[in-house]
């Protein structure tokens, strides 16, 4: 088992609608100055305390906490707990690398689950509801991008996403990446081994794919950005359970705006 100083599994003490006409979606945020807050959960089915945090994320998505601001939710399943008895079917070393980048940028001493990172600028233990709500309500807000999205299925095992719109926030000469995540909700897993042995695990907003649409530098807020991403799909893909999140991330890892879409049911 890896040293707990480096790898820790913590507990605590205490729909946007799609327009099906021509599969085009226009998701412009009504209040340009105060767009959504991006909430990233780093979790694992191999961590005994992650299921509680996963439930908190699902409740957040249902609106149970009655927040005044919209949120964009993503769950990144890491792979560093796979060795202790149960390999998370949604785990990826790519998400572990992403979490490590936050550990470094936030000046933390260790990597752990469940961890929430809010707007790329603050973090807390994922099953601490009060800390999570405080982090969201105090997070910096930015205009939401004004992307329109077109979805196509060029083959049975791929999804093509074309995006056109403005970032609505100026990017300086340090540059920023426009990232697109494909996520899935409503996942249920029987866990026969590991720390969650015998439990039925429910997961929402599970990131399946993450791609860079483009990188911009010295980019005016109203200048149009366009691009297309082709996502390879997994067995059992159902568009009605999936969505995409678009977010702008600076070189210092801060989130400068985000936007989400549900996929059309008929794609």
Q: How confident is the model at residue 7 (pLDDT cuts 50, 70, 90)?
A: low
Q: Say if residues 182 and 244 touch (Cβ distance below 8 Å).
A: yes
Please report the pLDDT score of residue 34 as a whole number. Answer: 87
25 pLDDT above the threshold of 90? no
Domains, the chain, ranges and CATH?
A: 33-262 (2.60.40.10)
Two tokens, residue 123:
């973090």
CA pair distance 207, 185, nearest whole angstrom = 9
CA pair distance 209, 232, nearest whole angstrom = 8
Q: Give residue-wise pLDDT tens across range 194-242.
A: 999 999 999 999 999 999 999 999 999 999 999 999 999 999 999 999 9
Q: Say if residues 104 and 58 touch (Cβ distance below 8 Å).
A: no
Catalogue the E-assigned strands of the chain: 7-9, 24-26, 37-43, 71-77, 111-113, 115-118, 122-125, 148-152, 158-166, 176-184, 187-191, 199-203, 206-216, 224-232, 242-250, 255-262
CA pair distance 256, 145, nearest whole angstrom = 9
Q: Give residue-wise pLDDT tens across range 141-197.
A: 999 999 999 999 999 999 999 999 999 999 999 999 999 999 999 999 999 999 999
Rounded percentage of the chain residues whose pLDDT exceeds 90: 87
Q: Which residues are CB-neighbours of 75 under 8 A, at least 6 positions away? A: 40, 41, 43, 54, 57, 183, 203, 204, 205, 206, 207
């Amino acid at each position: 088992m890896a040293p707990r100083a480096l790898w820790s599994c913590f507990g605590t003490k205490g729909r946007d609608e799609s327009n099906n006409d021509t599969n085009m979606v226009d998701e412009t945020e009504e209040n340009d100055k105060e767009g959504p807050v991006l909430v990233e959960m780093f979790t694992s089915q191999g961590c005994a305390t992650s299921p509680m945090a996963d439930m908190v994320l699902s409740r957040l998505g249902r609106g149970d906490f009655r927040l005044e601001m919209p949120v964009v939710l993503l769950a990144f399943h890491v792979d560093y707990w796979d060795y202790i008895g149960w390999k998370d079917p949604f785990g990826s070393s790519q998400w572990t690398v992403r979490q490590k980048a936050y550990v470094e940028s936030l000046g933390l001493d260790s990597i752990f689950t469940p961890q929430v990172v809010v707007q790329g600028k603050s973090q807390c233990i994922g099953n601490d509801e009060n800390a999570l709500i405080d982090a969201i309500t105090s997070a910096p807000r930015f205009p939401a991008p004004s992307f329109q999205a077109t979805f196509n299925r060029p083959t049975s095992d791929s999804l093509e996403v074309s995006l056109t719109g403005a970032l609505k926030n100026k990017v300086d000469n340090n540059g920023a990446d426009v990232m697109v995540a494909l996520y899935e909700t409503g996942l249920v897993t029987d866990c026969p081994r590991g720390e969650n042995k015998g439990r039925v695990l429910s997961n929402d907003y599970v990131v399946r794919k993450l791609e860079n649409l483009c990188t911009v530098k010295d980019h005016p807020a109203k200048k149009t950005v366009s691009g297309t991403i082709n996502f390879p799909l997994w067995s059992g893909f159902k568009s009605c359970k999936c969505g995409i999140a678009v977010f702008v991330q600076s070189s210092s890892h801060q989130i400068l705006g985000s936007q989400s879409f549900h996929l059309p049911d008929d794609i």
